[in-house]
Structure 1
Amino acid sequence: MQRSQMNIYNIKTTTSESLDDIGIVVDGIRVLTALDNFPKDCSMLVGLAYALNLAYPKELRYTFEVFQKLLLRVDFSKLSPKVNSLKNKLLS
């Protein structure tokens, strides 16, 4: 897996008529634009990282793992010990 910088951006507009510009940036390149809501954008970011086999940022590794494995149920059978502990606490 290669390490990449992944972000969700939100550019607020000053007029009430135009929509905010929300999208996803990987290594400084806008790869998805004109997205409409933040929860969907988080799912798209996790899916994009999974599809491109990108490594999650080290400081957000467990956050992304919870999104991917607990919320989206992708690779649900392969949980790290920390995420497995969280799952058990949530289900008890």
Structure 2
Amino acid sequence: MEDLLEKLDEQDTDHEKRVLRGVSVAILTIIEDDDAAISPNVRDVAVVLEWTIVLQDLPDLSTAFAYLFGLLYAMDIDYPKEMRYTFEGIQTIFFELGSRCSQCIRSLKTNLLL
């Protein structure tokens, strides 16, 4: 019986490794296998940092989003290069944190205020 449990644990970690391969920063939403594709049932929401699930069992996406930004700030982690402007835009426009931003984000903010 213990051998079976160990194999199941190994399979779970292997699956987790496959899912997280190449993902440095993410919000992971696990949906129940259900035929209701219109309104799927969310089973779990987790925050991924540096290829590891650091928080799980979060109540909703907005909470996970806030935790993600809090952890990035607290741990002084740089935004992923390919998503730099996305994170910078969210930080400066929506969270209103920091006065310095790139020209690209300043232009977006101006266009949104028009």
By the TM > 0.5 criterion, same fold? yes
Amino acid at match of 2:46: G
> Whose relative contact order is higher, 1 or 2, with alpha carbons under 8 Å and at least 6 apart?
1
Q: CA deviation at 1:19?
A: 5.5
Per-residue CA deviations over 1:11-69 (Å, capped at 9, x if unaligned) read: 22348xx8511110112222111112223322221221122111111111111111111
Structure 1 portions without partners, runs of 5+: none
1:28 corresponds in structure 2 to 51
Amino acid at match of 1:36: P
Q: 2:92 aligned to 52, 69, 91, which one?
A: 69
1:83 matched to 2:83? The reply is no
| Alignment length (residue pairs) | 86
Identical counterparts, % of pairs: 34
What is the TM-score normalised by the length of structure 2?
A: 0.66
Structure 2 portions without partners, runs of 5+: 1-22, 35-40
Dislocated runs of 4+, deviation >4 Å = none
1:44 matched to 2:59? The reply is no
Determine which structure has the larger helix proportion and give its number: 2
What is the TM-score normalised by the length of structure 1?
A: 0.79
